[in-house]
Amino acid sequence: MKIAPILIFLLLTAGCATSPTGRSQLMLISPEQAISSSRQAYIQTLQPLEQQGLVDADPAMTKRVKDITGRIIAQAIELYPDAKEWDWQIKVIDDPEMVNAWAMAGGKMAVYSGLIEQLRPTDDELAQVLAHEIGHAVANHTAERMSVALASQLGVLGLGLAVDSDYRGYALTGGALAATVAIGLPNSRTSEAEADQIGIELAARAGYNPYAAVTLWEKMAEVGGSSPVEFLSTHPSPGNRQKTLQRLAPHYMDEYEAPGERPRYAFAE
């Protein structure tokens, strides 16, 4: 039996989805499966840090992050109704050396204190980071990346079987895979550009200046210097990122300048 051709056929005929920007996505893992796995991964990732007192250790910093994130989530729920059913969470991990943030499926998010302490972002700039992560969530990038990782594993398995090797590969599944793709593996440049586009709109609708996306990346480059910060390792920069954001910003000034108080998502205690 020729296993490899069968696996290739299954991959080619696997479920596909369309992202919020109209891009076709490979979906071997459904968004619902990714959300379930991410729920498990989030607990497993944070639990040891909580036991060490490294989660939400600074009440003022945590409040600032939740206030900003809550306003952006409210806009995400309005634009992407599926997100209304999610149990959104955001945690601040106390690590002054780590300049990073991440989001798992279903709105499970974290930001490291090092990003705030080293970049010293304004609220508008911090909103761009958080909105970018929310962009990854609403575009189902965790499910997409889990699907790509699974496809790669199936391809390796098929190759091993096809040449009659004694293949004993170990495949990451469930929560382990969700955590790996959210925290450890780099995003594709395509998904980065998509999260930028979604994020800048969400932040503007939440009342945060879209031009702050440009100054944020200027600060990121300054802090990184000759050694790129961790955020740039897991969030590779699309070509001409700052120019693209500079071009996008004026399109969302009306949303930013719209009168009235912005609603805020209420996090469960």
Instruction: Measure the CA–CA gap between 34 and 143, rounded to whole angstroms.
Output: 5
pLDDT of residue 4: 47
Average pLDDT in the chain? 86
Please determine, for residue 75, whether its predicted confidence score (pLDDT) is greater than 60.
Answer: yes
Q: Evaluate whether 137 touches 83 at the Cβ level (below 8 Å).
A: yes
Element (H, E) at 89: strand 89-93
pLDDT of residue 159: 36
Q: Evaluate whether 111 touches 92 at the Cβ level (below 8 Å).
A: yes
φ/ψ of 26, rounded to 5, equals -75, 130
Where does the pLDDT of residue 167 fall: very low under 50, low under 70, confident under 90, or very high at 90 and above? Answer: very low
Task: Report the share of the chain in percent with pLDDT over 70.
Answer: 84
224-233: pLDDT as tens digits: 765 567 888 8
Q: pTM here?
A: 0.86
Q: 133 an active-site residue?
A: yes
102-150: pLDDT as tens digits: 999 999 999 999 999 999 999 999 999 999 999 999 999 999 988 888 8
Q: Which residue has the higher pLDDT, 144 or 166?
A: 144
pLDDT of residue 177: 81
Q: What is the mean pLDDT of residues 231-256?
A: 90
CA dihedral 248, 249, 253, 257 (to 10 degrees): 140
pLDDT of residue 187: 84
pLDDT of residue 153: 66
Please determine, for residue 5, whether its predicted confidence score (pLDDT) is greater than 90.
Answer: no
154-163: pLDDT as tens digits: 544 443 444 4
* CA atoms 191, 197, 200, 203: torsion sign: negative
* Tokens found for residue 64: 């600032």
Catalytic residue, chosen from 50, 125, 133, 218, is 133
